[in-house]
Amino acid sequence: MNQQGSTRVENPQGFVHTGAGNIYVNGGAHLQDSDKPAFRRVAEDQLRRLRLVLVDPPGMGKARAMLADTGTVILDGDPGSGRTSAARVLLRECRQDSGVLHELLPGEEGELALHDPALVGNGDQLLLDLSGADDHQWSAARADLPALRKSVHEQHAHLVVIMPHDGILDPDLQYYRVGIGRPPGLQVLRRHLRMHGMPYEQYMRSDATVDEFVGVKRPMREIADFADLVRRARETARPDEEFAQWCATAKRARNDRRKEVAARVAELREAPQRALLITVSMLHGAHADVIHRAAQLLLRTLASPSDGLPLLQHKDLAERLTEISAATGLRGHVHFTDLDYDSAVRAHFWDHMPDLRPHLGTWAASIVDLNHLHVTPAVRDGLVTRLADQYLRTGRGDGLASLAERWSIEATSRARLEAAVHALTCGLEDPAHGREFRERIYQWCAYRRLKGEFAQVLVRICADVLAASHPDQALLRLYYLARRERDPAPALQSLDDMVAGSRRLRRRLLDRLARYSPSPPDLGIFLRVCDPVPLTDSSETSRALVEEREVQHSLTTCWHAVLAGLPRATWQPHAARWLRRAADGIGRRGELLLDLLVSAAERCGERRGEAFAALYASAREAERTAPGGLKRSVETTELLIHKISVAQGLGPATPPPSARGTQP
């Protein structure tokens, strides 16, 4: 049920990182004008499809009712029963206008503790998958669940916990536990076949192969894979074949073909034969022209000598494909004659010719860079996915990460940068290696010197991939990237975009900026994300961010650092926005903006008089462009002067009558 998402990179800029300082712009390959959707949209499409394909397991109705009534449900079920899919569907069904769906990963870098109230935003949908947790992890999570539930309730959010099967649950949490059963295998298979566009009159027939397959208790993932094999068998079948033949072909494809492939490779002794075999397996379904060109490039990558024969004495492609049990279809696309034979070929060469592995990365990059009519985005993504699968299948996540980094450093085209993004996406989406890749991306963003175009690849990975399910981790990694870049600043833009859609993330970023002594890069980020409009907006909650004590502390700390450490020309436009917003008829929230500015200036010690004067001058300049008209703007300036006088001990606490006009 987990579809492999494709990612295209949009609106990026390229950098070269020259040391421990800033990243300077370099005129290299750029990722722009992408023709593929952002990953967040792909992720939403996957959730929508998951809802359509899911057969409600026994207990799903009770889980829905529990989640609706209490905001929390704890799912328990056998491994392979579809618990994770059920959890995601439950959360999608309770989606609100506010809030986002994200997975909680306690203990990972950039993740808040489960008991931290800042973890939950208004209307969020939270998934806590502890199905694979050990006793220590489950015990720690159980201790934090009451506090997490309290935050979920206060924020009108929803939480689904997947507990370890038959794990211990505290008495006060037993009420929220719902057992999830295994849905009927035949019904699940038929639902998948229907979603694949299989004719109803075909898959509803009784079939011996299907009966044998569903007669064994299988994980839901395995049933989904078999349905996909049936779909592919249908697509490559002869016109006279029907459902029974498709299922029989799918059954044969599930057999272990390692010995069969090993015997075939032993028969094919010539380098061109093996090169073509590898090429078809890695570019399965590509056009014959691409297969021919790619096989030549593989021989060149491996420095295989030419046979020296005249061109017309060479075997033609049709004959060579027949030798490896492949053929060209009516539209010129190449497939092996046996279903799923390509995966067995890939596994054989990867496992039994380890010296070939580094050359495959170089060769794949050369294919990605081809400017050819039939080298489409789908062909490039398919090649990268198949190569990534071999790294991940054999536990070589580090090799895949290094390959993506190398492609980014050596990038000569947008296509190669997109291939690097897609390779890292494969690692992030792999259940067994996702955590490793999230940690590796953190190390790159926070500590590594980024060469070539790698920084822009990481920006897009964080903004379009990681942010889809782990926004807190994406926020932290983009923060580190933004601290090291100069204009143009795609990491900073991505940060701004993230907090624009989430009060919780804006609060968290402000807290991060104020937690330590803000550096000049931190202040640049602050000025970008301190937009007074979302800070004073209370349309979705009972109070605005600016009315929260913790946010006020963060804003005051950062504005103090700005006034004390940056030239007025840098911060004046941002202060003017605050002053214009204060004059915009928002009442007490507008006055709070003035209070925070004055409080920040008051902390400037011996330079506070200079800071007060600069704020006053900014207010006078803002009067000319205030949206509420000159009268209200002047009243706001007078209220600011009054607050400055009070801070200096020079005036009464009660504002003058003209300044009171700013109140609603």
Note whether residue 414 is domain-resident.
no
Q: How many domains does the chain have?
A: 4
Q: Of 230, 253, 276, which closes a domain?
A: 253
Closest to 493 (Cα-Cα) out of 463, 450, 451, 536? 463
Same domain, 531 and 638: yes
**What are residue 76's DSSP bridge partners?**
179
438, two tokens: 């999230």
* 67 belongs to a structural domain: yes
Model-wide pTM > 0.85: yes
- Tell me how far apart the alpha carbons of residues 535 and 246 are, in angstroms, rounded to a whole number: 59
| Domain of 156, in residue numbers | 56-180
Do 218 and 150 share a domain, yes or no? Answer: no
β 23-25/15-17 pair status:
antiparallel
**pLDDT < 50 positions in the chain:** 1-28, 33-37, 39, 660-664
Can you list the alpha helix ranges (DSSP code H) found in 268-340?
271-282, 288-301, 317-323
User: How far apart (Å, rounded) are the C-alpha atoms in residues 485 and 21?
Assistant: 9
Tokens read off for 444: 């790159």
Same-domain check for residues 129 and 201: no
Asked whether residue 271 falls in the same domain as residue 355, the answer is yes
Pick from 162, 180, 198: which residue ends a domain?
A: 180
> Residue 3: its pLDDT value, please?
40
Map 583-602 to HEC letters. Answer: CCCCCHHHHHHHHHHHHHHH
Domain boundary among 147, 180, 213: 180
Residues 245, 266 share a domain: no
Residue 409 is assigned to a structural domain of this protein? no
What is d(CA 21, CA 374) in angstroms, rounded to the nearest whole number? 43
Six-digit token string for 261: 């492939």
Three-state DSSP state, 25 = strand
Residue 397 lies in a domain: no
Q: Are 492 and 505 in contact (CB under 8 A)?
A: no
Are 365 and 419 in contact by the 8 Å Cβ rule? The answer is: yes
The CATH number of whichever domain residue 171 belongs to comes to 3.40.50.300
Clarify whether residues 507 and 656 are in a common domain. yes
Nearest to 121 by CA among 478, 508, 393: 508
The torsion angle over the Cα atoms of residues 493, 498, 502 and 503, rounded to 10 degrees, is: -40
pLDDT for res 543: 87
In the block, residue with structure tokens 């057999």: 255
Tell me: do 123 and 110 sit in the same domain.
Answer: yes
The token pair at 540 is: 């979705």
Alpha helical stretches, state H, 302-356: 317-323, 341-352
CB 594 within 8 A of CB 631: no
Q: Do 81 and 167 share a structural domain?
A: yes
359 and 306 in a common domain: yes
Helix ranges (DSSP H) in 8-162: 39-53, 60-70, 83-93, 135-154
Q: Quick check: is 398 in a domain?
A: no
87 plus 225 within the same structural domain:
no
Q: DSSP secondary-structure letter at 463?
A: I
Contacts of 181 (CB under 8 A, 6+ apart): 57, 58, 59, 77, 78, 81
pLDDT at 29: 62
- Alpha helices, DSSP H, located in 133-287: 135-154, 185-195, 200-203, 208-214, 220-236, 243-253, 258-267, 271-282
d(C-alpha 142, C-alpha 129), whole Å = 13
The C-alpha atoms of residue 388 and residue 424 are separated, in whole angstroms, by 9
- Cβ neighbour number for residue 97 with a 10 Å cutoff: 7
**Judgement on whether residues 523 and 632 belong to the same structural domain of the protein:** yes
pLDDT tens readout for residues 28-64: 466 654 444 454 555 677 888 899 999 999 999 999 9
Q: Is 624 within a domain?
A: yes
Whether 154 and 228 share a structural domain: no
Q: What are the Cα distances from residue 61, in Å, to 55, 68, 83, 553? A: 12, 11, 14, 45
